[in-house]
Amino acid sequence: MKKTAFYGALTVAGFAASMASAATLDDVKERGVLNCGVTTGLVGFASPDANGVWDGFDVGVCRAVAAAVLGDSDAVEFVPTTGKTRFTALASGEIDMLARNTTWTFSRDVDLKFEFVGINYYDGQGFLVPRDLGVSSAKELDGATVCIQTGTTTELNLADYFRSNNISYEPVPIETNAEGQQQYLAGACDVYTTDASGLAATRAAFENPADHVVLPEIVSKEPLGPLVRHGDNDWADVVRWSLNALIAAEELGVTSANIEELAAAPTGNPEVNRLLGTEGELGAMLGLEADWAKNAIAAGGNYGELFEKNIGENTPIGLARGLNAQWTDGGLLYSPPFR
């Protein structure tokens, strides 16, 4: 079977790649499993536990989409990708969607022919300093040595920020986050800079996290979100509105605890009814069951619950909601209406 498929592949390779993007939704339904690209491991966002079960904030998005499409949050095949293999895995059709803390940028959206369907985490580059340094703002870092990953956008952002504030710094180039932690703890640099979520996770792993502070300045925009291939708008809609359903659920007060009760019969709030399929035909418009959003939310809870469970203030990572709060709470999360 495999062999014959391989021979066939040699002849129809060109076609198939273009045809595949046509109906991902049908492919997923037929396969019964969602192929979701995740990281090979990032604290709080995606990592398998001691039993090999994937868990994390990005993983929660995958599970929500699987639940919306297939009604089963476990019908996901997690395909681990590295920073180098993620885009080809998506472009070649090996995965149906990528939920791998990927920054939404112009060139990735336009030039690489992907479709970012939303933002599930607003990140940004921050600074981690020892409390002993007595610094309360990044503007006081004149002359500091900074550990920074080479060849990343963080390097460029840092140079821009220091230049625009007319202060100087001395870079200490490092390769990986692990190296950065060690160098920073060994005192090779005064400041460690990378994405704020990464800084929080790094700090959480320290022996005395309280001895280190993340400075309030965020010097870059890193909107992270799930993405799909260009050209299959139906599938992009499914992923986009699954994510929006999680966000809207939090805004509307729908949680994994009360969802059964709210979905049992139409409630007083028409938008909740439309979201949970007790009123209107939203599911059918997407080509899904009427209870798609209910399944997506029941999979791991609404956006807020996912956040609190994986990266929130009660976890070792301890991220505050910040920009990732609902728009009603002064954040940037704003789901278009379900109507």
Binding site for other proteins (CB under 8 A): 1-6, 8-10, 12-13, 16-17, 20, 27, 31, 39-44, 46-52, 79-82, 84-85, 88-89, 91-94, 178, 181-182, 201, 204-207, 315-317
Parallel, antiparallel, or unpaired for β 97-98 and 34-39? parallel
Q: Rounded to the nearest whole angstrom, what is the least distance from the CB of residue 207 to other proteins in the complex?
A: 6
Q: Is 46 exposed, middle or buried (0-12, 13-18, 19+ CB in 10 A)?
A: buried
Is 111 within 8 Å of 143 (Cβ atoms)? no
Read off the tokens for 314: 């009660």
Whose Cβ is closer to other proteins: residue 80's or residue 171's?
80
Q: Rounded to the nearest whole angstrom, what is the least distance from the CB of residue 78 to other proteins in the complex?
A: 9
Q: Rounded to the nearest whole angstrom, what is the least distance from the CB of residue 92 to other proteins in the complex?
A: 4
Q: CA 287, CA 332: separation in Å to the nearest integer?
A: 29
Q: Rounded to the nearest whole angstrom, what is the least distance from the CB of residue 244 to other proteins in the complex?
A: 27
Whose Cβ is closer to other proteins: residue 82's or residue 137's?
82
Whose Cβ is closer to other proteins: residue 4's or residue 164's?
4
Whose Cβ is closer to other proteins: residue 201's or residue 254's?
201
Buried (b) or exposed (e) across 61-73, using 16+ Cβ within 10 A? bbbbbbbbbbbeb
For the chain, what's the residue count? Answer: 339
Establish how many alpha carbons lie within 13 A of residue 313's alpha carbon, considering only the half-sphere containing its beta carbon.
6
At 148, give phi and psi (nearest 5°).
-145, 140
Whose Cβ is closer to other proteins: residue 24's or residue 193's?
24
Nearest to 41 by CA among 178, 137, 164, 173: 178
Q: Rounded to the nearest whole angstrom, what is the least distance from the CB of residue 28 to other proteins in the complex?
A: 11
Whose Cβ is closer to other proteins: residue 53's or residue 332's?
53
Whose Cβ is closer to other proteins: residue 46's or residue 148's?
46
Whose Cβ is closer to other proteins: residue 15's or residue 106's?
15
Q: CA 72, CA 82: separation in Å to the nearest integer?
A: 26
36 forms bridges with which residues in the sheet? 78, 97
Read off the tokens for 32: 């019964």
Nearest to 299 by CA among 75, 51, 96: 75
146 forms bridges with which residues in the sheet? 171, 191
Q: Rounded to the nearest whole angstrom, what is the least distance from the CB of residue 48 to other proteins in the complex?
A: 5
Q: Rounded to the nearest whole angstrom, what is the least distance from the CB of residue 252 to other proteins in the complex?
A: 30
Q: Rounded to the nearest whole angstrom, what is the least distance from the CB of residue 42 to other proteins in the complex?
A: 5
Q: CA 79, CA 95: separation in Å to the nearest integer?
A: 7
